[in-house]
Structure 1
Amino acid sequence: MTDREFLKVFRQQKEAFLKDFEKGTHHLRSAPVTSAGGDYKKVLDWFERWLREERVNTGSFEVGTREPARSFDQFMDEVLAVAREKLGDKNINITYSLPGQRLGISESWKCIKAFGSRDIYYRIGRTRPRKGPRRGEDLLVIDLVMDGYKKQVFLPLLAQKEAIERELGETLEREPPKVETTGKYRLKLLLPFEVVLRNDVHFVAEKLADFIAVTKPVLNGLGVM
């Protein structure tokens, strides 16, 4: 069955079902069988398979091959490797160490060094806020950590926040006021955890690389080298 035939059969089955549903007699057997579609099971099985395997935003009805499931650590490793390659093309070097993996420990956050300072760095990890408008949501977070550098780095960076957001095409978040009063200053990009569930390594790696590529020159200009 071709894509066009599938769409034709699906529309016919949907219309037949809706007619029966409106009458209160929604029996699938009352819908006509078409020569293009064969029996209902064949059409529904194909549709189920398409729903399971269709990649988000492919714009195609071709059945693809679903990537094998990865652990979160494996996903993060691949994201970091791809992001490092993308940044290398822009002459930006990053390093990251994963000591927990050597000990068999699963880590939900990875730290990324792009500066000489140990106190200013990037992170990527999983979180579920307990408060605020995103409370209870599973999120993947990319953030820039500047703890203890309020006047030297954080406030001057905030002055350029809108320009950074325009360049990234994203809205950036900061910590709640109560958290900032403890000396924790971060600027973060929040992504739905769905990007991890669908194994979208290149999408996340591009977001991470862009976040670093746009913010690093700003921090360099503030004396963070």
Structure 2
Amino acid sequence: MNSGDFVSVFELYKERYLQQDQQGHETKKALDRFQSWLKNNTKLFPARAKSEKQQKIDLGRFISAIVQEARSILAEKGVQIFCISLGLKESSKCIRAFSESTIYYRLGKTCPRKGNYRGMELLVMELVMDGNKNNIFIPLVERQQAIEEQMGTRIERESHRIESTGKYRFKLYFPFENDDSAEAIGRMSVMLANFIYITRKELINLNII
């Protein structure tokens, strides 16, 4: 990770933290000052030598483990989910929470080429609503703030250019840290389960079954 990447990752972590912090204004001011200092002192962080190999994890197993734990969490709440994609070598999993709808969830790894997260390796959780603009997407956008408040985190969308092609998604981004520990899997599985549980209730209210 170079110095620019470090600052970008800090910004993402700061945003996630502030969304859950109860202290409010004073905490934000302190983090903003630290972020400003980072941007002005990036030369203090030497770039990683090219010969240094970063630890790699088995992405397919990591994602499968997250989905499996999320399935158990949701089952305790009376919600059943099913994987569309099978196999441990896949870099993403598509998840169905409805028996008849074409709407589904997806968990995978991404590295955006544009936007605020350009060049960052991220774990992304998505609610995919492609082709369902008026009956699903727009009503959910109207409820987006309420959903975010329930989840305690911000939901991202596709760019206007992508949405104009009929691709409608709600997304949660998390820094991908090559950490497949039980703690990391547990943390991500809780986020995935909450994402599915909360948005699924909204979809049921829109008569999705």
Same fold (TM over 0.5): yes
Distance 2:123 2:115 in 1: 16
Indicate the residue corresponding to 1:202 in structure 2. Answer: 186
Pick from 63, 87, 110: which aligns with 1:127? Answer: 110
Return the letter of the residue paired with 1:140: L
- TM superposition score normalised by structure 1: 0.65
Aligned residues: 153
User: Are residues 1:213 and 2:197 paired?
Assistant: yes
Indicate the residue corresponding to 1:144 in structure 2. Answer: 127
User: Are residues 1:86 and 2:73 paired?
Assistant: yes
Deviation at 1:97, TM superposition (A): 3.8
Return the letter of the residue paired with 2:73: K
Tell me, what secondary structure is at the counterpart of 1:141? strand
Deviation at 1:211, TM superposition (A): 0.2
8 Å CA contact 2:93–2:106 kept in 1: the answer is yes
Deviation at 1:99, TM superposition (A): 3.6
Indicate the residue corresponding to 1:74 in structure 2. Answer: 61
Deviations 1:32-68 (A, max 9, x none): xxxxxxxxxxxxxxxxxxxxxxxxxxxxxxxxxxxxx
Structure 1 segments unaligned to the other structure (5+ residues)? 1-68
Deviation at 1:70, TM superposition (A): 4.5
Indicate the residue corresponding to 1:107 in structure 2. Answer: 90
Indicate the residue corresponding to 1:172 in structure 2. Answer: 155
Distance 1:180 1:78 in 2: 31
Percent identical:
41
CA RMSD of aligned residues (A): 1.7
Deviation at 1:123, TM superposition (A): 0.3
Deviation at 1:107, TM superposition (A): 1.8
Tell me, what secondary structure is at the counterpart of 1:151? helix
Indicate the residue corresponding to 1:156 in structure 2. Answer: 139
Deviations 1:150-198 (A, max 9, x none): 000000000000000011000000000010011000001111102x425
Deviation at 1:116, TM superposition (A): 2.1
Tell me, what secondary structure is at the counterpart of 1:207? helix
Answer 1 or 2: higher relative contact order, Cα 8 Å, separation at least 6: 2
Q: Residue 88 and residue 97 in structure 1: after superposition, are their counterparts in 2 closer, same or farther (change >3 A)? A: same
Computing the radius of gyration from Cα coordinates, the structure with the larger value is: 1
Structure 2 segments unaligned to the other structure (5+ residues)? 1-55
Distance 1:97 1:149 in 2: 20
